[in-house]
Structure 1
Amino acid sequence: MISSLKGQNVLITGASSGFGWYSALNFAKYDSNLILFARRMERLEKLKEEIRILYPTISVRIYKVDVSNKQSIEEAFKQVNTDIKRIDILVNNAGLSQGSDPLRTISEESIDIMINTNVKGLVWVTQLVLPGMLQRNSGHIINVGSIAGLNTAPVLSVYGATKHAVHALS
């Protein structure tokens, strides 16, 4: 698969740090074109510049997107669909843990933030990418989960549940 990454259009959510950041660098190393989503535009700008210096021949497009907000995703896709013809690989990486409160005291707001980001955001982005992949009969979707989705701690119960959902959707 490595040699076939050249020229592929790769969309990575949560690209401003961690696995998303390093996934972008790794796909760039194999001459893939990048579409990067994250909430922190200044971090995306920094990543884009780093990739431009290391791999000047690839295309890097960045979009400020909050995957917990369906409207934010839809607005970004209007622009993405204007900018590029297809998405070949989707890396659903965006995710977060909201605090470390045990189940008996975790706030509704924290629950909503984690479910909207870790589960709904993944579904919403996939729903917008999948039709093109099915139409072309090609494409790959990589959902980044967590070991917490398989074996969680009491203070990570809701986070673990959202990451279990990621595993179930994969």
Structure 2
Amino acid sequence: MKKTALITGATSGIGEATSTLLAQNNFNLIITGRRNERLNALKEKIENETDSKVHVLNFDIRNQQETEKAIQSLPEEWQTVDVLINNAGLAAGLSGIDNGNVDDWERMIDTNIKGLLYISRLVSARMIEKGEGHIVNISSIAGRETYPMGNVYCATKHAVQAITKGMRLDFLKHGIKVSSVSPGAVETEFSLVRFAGDSERANKVYEGITPLAAKDIADTILFVVTRPKHVNIDDILVMPTDQAFSRDFNRKA
């Protein structure tokens, strides 16, 4: 019998790659995001290429009411979520505290922290009723370190690490596994979003190195969610060979 995984932020990057890989490995999927056309295109692709079923939820995870309405709208056959992958997240801007853009701060806090909490609260309640489940929070090397001008983004990912630990304690008695996966530099839309569509600036982030690809993190997530019932991967950090810490790269000329 297939398990069902709910993946937030499935419209691109790690979320899209993870959706595709889990579908290829015997999971049905609930995919969420703000870009409905991309969600429907991914659903069509997966259902054409695998025997997995896909249900689309189009909403903004920053909005508590939208998130509640979306989860409450799930048909009966989609009510049981075995795995929740909290992937939705972003970095916006790169600046000092003294001249940071408050709108960017709000966007990161609302997505990376509050959105994760909103959906985790709803989905975990159903896992508790069942007495099992698995929540995987996608963190970052920025949740382990703080780098210049990354202040608020790093703070949100440090919060993800703390929330993950808190979840693990709270859900221990309910048989719910809780894991975090922290990537280093992954070449996705991440830097393009951070730099407001400036592709030249975004490309420089990965210049001279071989970064991780979205599928590398999808492979890691698949490993985490397919361990035996008695095994939980608490926390895993995945880095490119060319990266030692958040801003330490071996760049080739």
Fold conserved (TM > 0.5)? yes
C-alpha distance in 1 between matches for 2:145 and 2:75: 38
1:103–1:154 CA contact under 8 A, matched in 2: no
- What's 2:132 paired with? 138
Give 2:84's aligned amino acid: L
- What's 1:109 paired with? 103
Matched, 1:125 2:119: yes
SS of alignment partner, residue 80 of structure 1:
coil
The equivalent position to 1:15 in structure 2, one of 10, 17, 22, is 10
Matched, 1:48 2:43: yes
* TM-score using structure 2 length: 0.62
Question: Which of the two has higher C-alpha Rg?
Answer: 2
- What's 1:168 paired with? 162
Aligned-pair Cα RMSD in Å: 1.3
Structure 1 segments (4+ residues) deviating >6 Å: none
Deviation (angstroms), 1:82: 4.4
Deviation (angstroms), 1:83: 5.2
* TM-score using structure 1 length: 0.92
Deviation (angstroms), 1:34: 0.3
**Superimposed CA distance per residue, residues 76-117 of structure 1 (whole angstroms, 9 cap, x where no aligned partner):** 112125452311100000001111122211122211111110
1:36–1:62 CA contact under 8 A, matched in 2: yes
Q: Which structure 2 residues correspond to residues 83-98 of structure 1 after superposition, within 5 A? A: 84-98=78-92
Overall identity of the aligned pairs, in %? 39
Structure 2, unaligned runs of 5 or more: 165-253
Deviation (angstroms), 1:53: 1.9
SS of alignment partner, residue 9 of structure 1:
strand
C-alpha distance in 2 between matches for 1:162 and 1:108: 14
- What's 2:211 paired with? none
**Distance change in 2, residues 1:168/1:81 (3 Å):** farther
Deviation (angstroms), 1:133: 0.8
Matched, 1:150 2:165: no
